[in-house]
Amino acid sequence: MSETGDLHATVEMLAGKVRALEDQVEIMQLVARYGPAVDSGSGEAAAALWTEDGAFDAVPHLKMRGRDDIIAMVTGDGHQSLLGGGCGHVLTVPHIVVNGDEATGRSYALQVRWDADADRFWVFRASANTWRWVRTPQGWRIAERVNAPLDGTEGHREMLAPPAVSPLPEEE
């Protein structure tokens, strides 16, 4: 009896740890899908990474709100011309802080472009990224992403500052 009780407690504790690991890995994988989606021109696949009404601020040019705005960006002339010229959106694994059904993160994105004349690639942009993710019935989705160039602007580098108060450790 009591042995089974102990086992129950251990299994419950393990289930909590597994859930926390799944959150981390699923969010890492969500972020890993962004670059391939936009660099292959797959607007719908990119938009599907966000919630229906998700936000994406590409500072300072674009404020996208909802999936249609993201599709419009990917299929738009600006982005299509980037793809034709040769381009990669290279994102890093974020620092991810999960708090129940929400999570926040901070990471980097490089936009690297091909220069056929110079016969080399060049770094168009290195940017700070902040993320807010939410757990949906279909899995984690992006609720808000802000992408801002690390060009010395104080507000952009402050996006990367660690959360003022760390959330409590997972309490299950």
Compute the radius of gyration of the chain from its Cα atoms: 19
Report the interface residues with a copy of itself, using CB under 8 A. 3-4, 7-8, 10-11, 14-15, 17-18, 21-22, 24-25, 28-29, 32-33, 35-37, 39-42, 45, 83-88, 90-96, 106-108, 110, 112, 114, 116, 120-128, 149-153, 157-162
Q: Which is nearer to a copy of itself, 65 or 150 (CB)?
A: 150
Supply the minimum distance, in Å, between the C-beta of residue 148 and a copy of itself: 11
Supply the minimum distance, in Å, between the C-beta of residue 41 and a copy of itself: 7
Supply the minimum distance, in Å, between the C-beta of residue 103 and a copy of itself: 12
Is-contact 126 108, C-beta < 8 A?
Answer: yes
Q: Which is nearer to a copy of itself, 51 or 107 (CB)?
A: 107
The runs of H, that is alpha helices, within the chain are 2-32, 34-39, 43-47, 67-75, 77-85, 154-158
Is-contact 106 129, C-beta < 8 A?
Answer: yes
Is-contact 97 119, C-beta < 8 A?
Answer: no
